[in-house]
A and B are shown apart, each in its own frame.
Chain A
């Protein structure tokens, strides 16, 4: 069966696929930065006893974690134009959805990270007269990040794979680019295979790097 593969169609499609890959990478990086930032704030809200704000943060995280990502992507893409009256565009919609969705997962990681910092560190920061925000920014979060860095990066690798779901709303990511190229040359199997190889190589490389980092951090501690 593989004897019938015609890999020569890959070469002329490379430029097109590259554009798709760039979008996937961009989406991953933006959703990661935005997700970690938003997720950290959510984690802080959940851990502080702020009454309604704590409950809202909890509800948000639980909601996002209970809905399949592809449905969130679709709903957001379909509902926002109804609310604002004009379409947002698949790419922009994808960026916002992913940031909001990943924030829920990053927040669970950051929550564990914040809790991994000992109570005594908090007391020491307070005893110096630090405000809550100073204590978080200078003492707790730097340690939480360092403790959780491997897990945050692993989540980002999962995020990179999940970006392929924007396919559902037609945003031109790596997978969509491969699909289009496959249709152009009437060689879908070759192009899907090529896309899979790219995902695989990137993810396995990143995973290996994370593993090494994990060992290094373990030594420092």
Chain B
């Protein structure tokens, strides 16, 4: 079984269907980019993977654990599925290092010293070791997002979900975040990335999923996607996004 298996997932907000029969999978070590126009359901889909968004039909398996099954301990599952948000969502009342240790200590039950050690080495890895005792508000957006990635990595995730990680950043900060993500991909992390960064998709992704109106319209290798997308909708999307 793949690391992430999405099977016929449908979701409604009242009458309005936001996801319609979405199926796909992400193999271990694979990097899959999810793109599409805004409102197409890509953020909703990625939040279904760790159950942050409930869905009414279908099932998602993460490492063979069914997300929608009421018998599944969602907290336990989420503890090992890293997630990075569009607006970083660092905890503003904690220092950077506390942000990285709180989950390790309270959720995973690690010792404080062990957690702190891990936190420092991860901060070092994202180039922010000297910021350990600062508060998130003292950091730039790009720095905050790198801390957020480190916070997710501190939990030793089996896969990582990125929900538009660069959409809230100033252009000059996007690169530093993408560089961290690229390194992560090189090391073989399983990643599902919702993004508009087509450069990242080209360089790093193995596969591209294109969504429109709550449906997965294309699910192909990146070569095929950037070469000859089959659907008109994806062609239009690409022509708009790549022309400038």
* Chain A contact residues, CB within 8 Å of chain B: 118, 120-121, 123-131, 134, 138-139, 142-143, 146
Contacts and interface: CB of A to CB of B under 8 A. Distances in A.
A146 B94 CA distance: 13
A127 B91 contact: no
A127 B75 contact: no
Contact of A123 (B75, B85, B91, B152): B85
A49 to B, nearest CB: 13
Contacts of B77: 129
Interface of B: 47, 50, 52, 75-83, 85, 87, 89-93, 102-103, 106-108, 151-152, 155
B79 A129 contact: yes
A129 B77 CA distance: 7
A121 B85 CA distance: 10
B79 A124 contact: no
A128 B103 contact: yes
B85 A138 contact: no
Contacts of B76: 129
Contacts of A143: 91-93
Nearest to B77: A129
A120 B89 contact: yes
6 contacts: A120-B89, A126-B52, A127-B81, A130-B75, A138-B102, A142-B93
A130 B103 contact: yes
A129 B89 contact: no
Contact of B93 (A125, A129, A146): A146
